Structure 1
Amino acid sequence: MIVISTVIPDVLVIEPRVFEDERGFFLESFNQSKFLERTGLNFTFVQDNHSRSTQHVLRGLHYQIQHPQGKLVRVVVGEILDVAVDIRRSSPTFGQWVSCVLSAENKRQLWVPPGMAHGFLVMSEVAEVLYKTTDYYAPQYERSIVWNDPDLAIAWNLTTSPILSPKDKNAVPLKDAEVYV
Structure 2
Amino acid sequence: MFAAENGLKGDPRLKAISEAIRVIPNFPKPGIMFQDITTLLLDHNAFKHTIDIFVDRYRDMDISVVAGVEARGFMFGPSIALAIGAKFVPLRKPRKLPGEVISESYVLEYGTDSLEMHVGAVRPGDRALIIDDLVATGGTLFAAINLLERSGAEVTECACVIGLPIVKERFRSNGKRLYFLVEPRQLEDCC
Give the TM-score, by structure 1 length.
0.29
Whichever structure has more helix as a proportion of its residues is 2
Give the TM-score, by structure 2 length.
0.28
The structure showing larger relative contact order (alpha-carbon pairs under 8 Å, at least 6 residues apart) is 1
Whichever structure has more strand as a proportion of its residues is 1
